[in-house]
């Protein structure tokens, strides 16, 4: 097959590129949904991979009328019409019929067999096209079911940041598009390793600990990393991006949530409530904190936040109740509520003044725990258990227990071993002291006694650089460092 695409300037996204390459080799029509949060790099991935080899491309207009969207659609038809001029359609049904005419003029070879080239259609920001009463989805259903699905050389790629819209209207459509999507790519933020590659690609020098702290603030979002200024320290960049008047990411928080969710105010209320409790809240606790009504919309808000990877839903280890915990795990949102919203803008270097203070160190310790949770697969690889089925939990004693105890990360393994992870964010090697040893052994014992366990428990230290050898250090069966998290 003639290669029509290029990925030689792409940083990271190895799995996504391999997925797209597989799609391009398909012998059937493909309906591909690319979705994920704002600024995560969806459009860049698609455009870079296909290298502008489109039979048709359209980008929706934000907050525009149906008439304006159709005018934009017509302009794209004419742009790809090879000199043919299309008149403006009155409805989306007419618009997709004209798209069919355009694509039929670009038919390549024998459609009954595998073709040498593909007709690629890319509709970016699809949710923006769906103005009130537009019948967009119904027209798209008709276009796909009546014609496109029979075109073995056709690849239809739709994309959008409004993840809740994409999920509800396309992926979980209960009408004519039910089970019609053939491939989906959920684009996640960069891992630590991808952050390092991207930062270096930008010509910026940072050591692993600085990159980790950058992730703890920005969460591996390529657009945020792109705003790092070469020649400035990380703390200077944070001040310029978040705390300076008219900073580079001044209005990003509101834009992020309004682009992802309808009625974004309720979503913001939920994440703000969750930001006050590091380990998360139950559904009832969220309702009490937000004062939202108990209805289907509230359930949808929680589900959308989980689906978008802003919130983690889990049950404590060994929990026999139906009460799950919702935990905010998006670093950018956590940082926003902890500092940006609380302290606002300043003409002074706010974040630079925080470095080394108790406020910074307390935040960094908690943020590092989230980083470890988001990279549990790298921890498992370092432990040599990647091939073993695992589940990740948290655990704490009951609310009425006299001796409170908590473990933030437990890896339960199918080989009957449990890894209890202790996470310590330090500027140097971590040195276990007598009081630290007493505390962690107490918590591990409480954990074992609470479940009356007979299986092996292996304590694991996850820390920045390593563990100082002393009479307490042998307590840990394994030590995982930042270097391991960059795998």
What pLDDT, on a 0 to 100 scale, did the predictor assign at position 110? 42
CATH number of the domain that residue 446 is part of: 3.40.1350.10
Q: Is pLDDT of 419 > 60? A: yes
Co-location of 133 and 157 in the same domain = yes
Co-location of 362 and 381 in the same domain = no
Q: Is pLDDT of 129 > 60? A: yes
Co-location of 259 and 245 in the same domain = yes
- Using the 3D structure, point to which of 334, 366, 398 is the last residue of a domain: 366
| Partners of residue 417 on adjacent β-strands | 456
Co-location of 291 and 258 in the same domain = yes
User: What's the rounded Cα separation, in Å, for the pair 376 and 391?
Assistant: 10
Torsion sign over Cα 228, 234, 240, 244: positive
Q: Is residue 371 situated within a structural domain? A: no
Number of domains in the chain: 3
Residue given tokens 């008709």 in the structure block: 142
Co-location of 139 and 287 in the same domain = no
Q: Is residue 124 situated within a structural domain? A: yes
Query: Percent of the chain scored above 90 by pLDDT?
Result: 79
Q: Is pLDDT of 323 > 80? A: no
Structural domain span for residue 382? 377-485
Co-location of 128 and 145 in the same domain = yes
Residue-wise pLDDT for 356-368, tens only, equals: 999 999 999 999 9
pLDDT band (50, 70, 90) for residue 77: very high
Q: Is pLDDT of 449 > 70? A: yes
pLDDT band (50, 70, 90) for residue 454: confident
Q: Is pLDDT of 163 > 90? A: no
CB atoms within 10 A of CB 240: 18
Q: Is residue 9 situated within a structural domain? A: no
- Using the 3D structure, point to which of 151, 186, 221 is the last residue of a domain: 186
110-114, 272-276, 334-338: lowest mean pLDDT where? 110-114
Q: What is the mean pLDDT of residues 86-109?
A: 92
Q: Taking every pair of C-alpha atoms in the chain, what is the biggest distance, in angstroms?
A: 81
Residue from 395, 362, 253 nearest 310 by CA = 253
Residue-wise pLDDT for 30-60, tens only, equals: 999 999 999 999 999 999 999 889 999 999 9
pLDDT band (50, 70, 90) for residue 400: low
User: What's the rounded Cα separation, in Å, for the pair 209 and 482?
Assistant: 7
Q: Is pLDDT of 318 > 70? A: no
Q: What is the mean pLDDT of residues 128-153?
A: 95
**Going by C-beta distance under 8 Å and a sequence separation of 6 or more, which residues neighbour residue 160?**
35, 60, 124, 125, 126, 127, 128, 166
Co-location of 41 and 179 in the same domain = yes
Co-location of 211 and 236 in the same domain = yes
Q: Does residue 270 sit in helix, strand or coil?
A: helix
Q: Is pLDDT of 236 > 90? A: yes
pTM assigned to the model: 0.89
What pLDDT, on a 0 to 100 scale, did the predictor assign at position 307? 87
Co-location of 279 and 334 in the same domain = yes
Q: Is 364 left (phi over 0), alpha (psi -120 to 50) or beta?
A: alpha
What pLDDT, on a 0 to 100 scale, did the predictor assign at position 99? 97
User: What's the rounded Cα separation, in Å, for the pair 467 and 481?
Assistant: 9
- Using the 3D structure, point to which of 186, 214, 245 is the last residue of a domain: 186
Q: Is pLDDT of 157 > 50? A: yes
What pLDDT, on a 0 to 100 scale, did the predictor assign at position 421? 97
Q: Does residue 13 sit in helix, strand or coil?
A: coil
What pLDDT, on a 0 to 100 scale, did the predictor assign at position 6? 44
Q: What is the mean pLDDT of residues 59-84?
A: 94
Co-location of 146 and 271 in the same domain = no
CATH number of the domain that residue 318 is part of: 1.10.10.10
- Is 155 within 8 Å of 181 (Cβ atoms)? no
pLDDT band (50, 70, 90) for residue 181: very high
Residue-wise pLDDT for 252-274, tens only, equals: 999 999 888 888 999 999 999 99
Q: What is the mean pLDDT of residues 444-472?
A: 93
User: What's the rounded Cα separation, in Å, for the pair 145 and 137?
Assistant: 12
**Going by C-beta distance under 8 Å and a sequence separation of 6 or more, which residues neighbour residue 422?**
440, 459, 460, 461, 462, 476
Co-location of 257 and 395 in the same domain = no
Q: Is pLDDT of 115 > 60? A: no
Q: Is residue 372 situated within a structural domain? A: no
Residue from 340, 360, 373, 382 nearest 466 by CA = 382
What pLDDT, on a 0 to 100 scale, did the predictor assign at position 404? 84
In 166-205, which residue ranges form alpha helices assigned H by DSSP? 192-201
Q: Is pLDDT of 321 > 70? A: no
Q: Is residue 176 situated within a structural domain? A: yes
pLDDT band (50, 70, 90) for residue 308: confident
What pLDDT, on a 0 to 100 scale, did the predictor assign at position 63? 86
Co-location of 237 and 327 in the same domain = yes
Q: What is the mean pLDDT of residues 465-479?
A: 97
What pLDDT, on a 0 to 100 scale, did the predictor assign at position 427? 93
What pLDDT, on a 0 to 100 scale, did the predictor assign at position 451? 77
Q: Is residue 218 situated within a structural domain? A: yes
pLDDT band (50, 70, 90) for residue 114: very low
CATH number of the domain that residue 106 is part of: 3.40.50.300
What pLDDT, on a 0 to 100 scale, did the predictor assign at position 266? 95
Q: What is the mean pLDDT of residues 222-240?
A: 96
Centroid of chain to Cα 234: 22
63 exposure class (CB count in 10 Å sphere: 0-12, 13-18, 19+): exposed
Q: Is residue 442 situated within a structural domain? A: yes
Q: Is pLDDT of 288 > 60? A: yes
pLDDT band (50, 70, 90) for residue 5: very low
Q: Is residue 2 situated within a structural domain? A: no
């Amino acid at each position: 097959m003639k290669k029509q695409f290029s990925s030689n300037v792409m940083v990271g996204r190895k799995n996504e590129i391999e997925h797209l390459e597989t799609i391009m080799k398909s012998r059937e029509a493909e309906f591909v949904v690319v979705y994920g949060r704002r600024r995560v790099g969806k459009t860049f991935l698609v455009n870079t991979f296909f290298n502008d080899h489109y039979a048709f491309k359209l980008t929706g207009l934000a907050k525009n009328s149906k008439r304006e969207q159709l005018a934009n659609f017509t302009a794209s038809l004419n742009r790809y019409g090879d000199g043919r001029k299309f008149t403006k359609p009155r409805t989306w049904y007419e618009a997709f019929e004209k798209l069919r005419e355009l694509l039929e003029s670009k038919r390549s070879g024998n459609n009954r067999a595998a073709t040498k080239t593909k007709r690629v259609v890319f509709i970016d920001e699809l949710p923006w096209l769906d103005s009130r009463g537009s019948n967009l989805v119904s027209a798209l259903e008709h276009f796909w079911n009546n014609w496109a699905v029979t075109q073995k050389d056709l690849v239809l790629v739709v994309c959008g940041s409004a993840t809740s819209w994409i999920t509800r209207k396309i992926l979980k459509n209960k009408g004519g598009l039910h089970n019609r999507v053939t491939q989906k790519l959920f684009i996640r933020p960069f891992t630590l390793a991808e952050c390092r590659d991207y930062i270096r690609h930008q010509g910026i020098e940072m050591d692993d600990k600085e990159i980790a702290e950058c992730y703890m603030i920005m969460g591996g979002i390529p657009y945020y990393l792109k705003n790092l200024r070469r020649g400035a320290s990380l703390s200077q960049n944070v001040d310029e991006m978040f705390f300076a008047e008219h900073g580079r990411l001044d209005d990003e928080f509101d834009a992020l949530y309004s682009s992802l969710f309808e009625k974004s105010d309720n979503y913001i209320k939920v994440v703000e409530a969750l930001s006050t409790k590091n380990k998360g809240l139950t559904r009832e606790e969220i309702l009490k904190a937000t004062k939202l009504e108990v209805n289907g919309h509230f359930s949808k808000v929680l589900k959308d936040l989980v689906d978008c990877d802003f919130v983690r839903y889990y049950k404590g280890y060994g929990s026999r109740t139906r009460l799950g915990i919702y935990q905010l795990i998006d670093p950018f949102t956590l940082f926003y509520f902890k500092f940006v919203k609380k302290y606002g803008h300043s003409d002074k270097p706010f974040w630079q003044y925080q470095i080394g203070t108790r406020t910074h160190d307390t935040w960094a310790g908690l943020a590092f725990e989230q980083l470890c949770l988001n990279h549990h697969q790298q921890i498992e690889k370092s432990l040599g258990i990647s091939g073993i089925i695992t589940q990740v939990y948290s655990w704490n004693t009951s609310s009425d227990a006299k001796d409170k105890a908590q473990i933030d990360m437990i890896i339960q393994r199918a080989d009957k071993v449990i890894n209890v992870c202790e996470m310590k964010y330090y500027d140097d090697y971590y040195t276990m002291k007598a009081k630290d040893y007493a505390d962690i052994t107490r918590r591990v014992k409480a954990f074992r006694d609470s479940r009356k366990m007979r299986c092996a428990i292996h304590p694991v230290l996850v820390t920045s650089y390593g563990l100082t050898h002393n009479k307490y250090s042998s307590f840990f069966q394994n030590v995982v460092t930042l270097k391991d998290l960059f795998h």
